[in-house]
Amino acid sequence: MPEFYGSVAGADAYHTARANAAWTGSDDAKQAALIRASAYIDGKYQQQNSCGRWESMFSGSKTGGRGQELQWPRTGASDNEGATIPSSEVPAEIEKATYEAALRELVTPGSLSPDYVAAEAIKRQKVDVLEIEYQASTDGGVPTRPVLTVVDELVAPLLRSNRLCGVAVFVV
């Protein structure tokens, strides 16, 4: 099974069409960036439901079950307009989002999933009369991840609405 969405050739064509000159380097470096970007896509689009369970924000389930490394392809998946996504398909939106995220990873490896060490954070810095206080980089000890608006916008058509969990009783 593949370790990443898309292909190096697909990413090359995508970035060439968009004149992204930063997409350069060896195929090995590009592939490594695609692997990290795919992990970012799969991790970012999960949420904890009201019952405390983590679940994918994509509809359907992994076609290959637990043995499938990546979230796509999925069985029973559809887009937000109700169009069925074939169980053997990785949607173009996922591949394009991966190419966008991989560009950031190629330029700055590890930037999509930064480590956070609280003891190293600078809250305030003062030199003579100049004082700078930086924006807090965490919320409750959770590392800040970059917001990649283009990735969110590309993936948005594939996200499902929140499902309820547990037993529901409707009284009429």
What pLDDT was estimated at residue 112? Answer: 92
Report pLDDT digits (tens) over 110-145.
Answer: 989 887 766 666 666 777 888 776 655 544 554 567
What pLDDT was estimated at residue 107? Answer: 96
Cis check: omega of the bond before 73, within 30 degrees of 0:
yes
Report pLDDT digits (tens) over 66-99.
Answer: 999 999 999 999 999 999 999 999 999 999 999 9
What pLDDT was estimated at residue 21? Answer: 97
What pLDDT was estimated at residue 4? Answer: 97
Nearest 5°: CA angle at 70, between 145 and 5? 80
pLDDT at 162 over 60: no
List b or e across 96-123, with b for residues whose CB sees 16 or more CB atoms inside 10 angstroms.
bbbbbbbbbbbeeeebbeeeeeeeeeee
Question: Which residue carries 């969405």 as its tokens?
Answer: 5
What pLDDT was estimated at residue 41? Answer: 96
**Percent of the chain with pLDDT strictly greater than 90:** 62
What pLDDT was estimated at residue 120? Answer: 62
Please report, for the chain, the start and end positions of each structural domain, with discontinuous segments joined by +.
8-114+147-158
What pLDDT was estimated at residue 56? Answer: 92
pLDDT at 6 over 90: yes
What pLDDT was estimated at residue 130? Answer: 81
Name the band, by pLDDT with cuts 50, 70 and 90, for residue 63. Answer: very high
pTM of the model: 0.78
